[in-house]
């Protein structure tokens, strides 16, 4: 496999408890509240940890995401924004 293109190599599959879901939002955002409900439910079902970050407390997050909140990251990579589809999030976490 040493000569195989990186595009063709499969990533090592992680268990849900080895993943990290990050919700980026701000207080008073009803879409953020809706996203949190979905994230809490899905993460509890699959055993994945999650965290919440407030763009009003972080200038870099604000610069990157202010037009898209809520934004959901999985392992630091953008998964979705505005609305969270529970089935899609579950598939992402379960691999």
Report in angstroms the alpha-carbon separations of 55 from 4, 49, 59, 72, 82. 40, 20, 7, 13, 14
How do residues 48-79 score in pLDDT, each as one tens digit?
999 999 999 999 999 999 999 999 999 999 99
pLDDT computed for residue 4 by the predictor: 52
Cβ neighbors of 1 (< 8 A, separation 6 or more) are 9
pLDDT confidence of residue 7:
55
Handedness of CA 23, 26, 29, 33 (dihedral sign): positive
Q: What are phi and psi of 52, to 5 degrees?
A: -125, 135
What is the pLDDT, as a whole number, of residue 9? 53
Asked if residue 23 has pLDDT above 90, the reply is yes
């Amino acid at each position: 496999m040493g000569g195989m293109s990186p595009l063709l190599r499969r990533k090592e599959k992680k268990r849900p408890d080895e993943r990290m879901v990050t919700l980026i939002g701000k207080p008073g955002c009803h879409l953020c509240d809706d996203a949190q409900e979905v994230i809490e439910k899905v993460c509890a079902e699959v055993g994945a940890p999650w965290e919440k970050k407030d763009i009003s407390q972080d200038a870099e997050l604000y610069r990157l995401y202010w037009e898209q909140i809520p934004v959901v990251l999985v392992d630091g990579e953008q998964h979705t924004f505005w609305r969270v589809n529970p089935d899609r999030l579950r598939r992402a976490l379960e691999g």
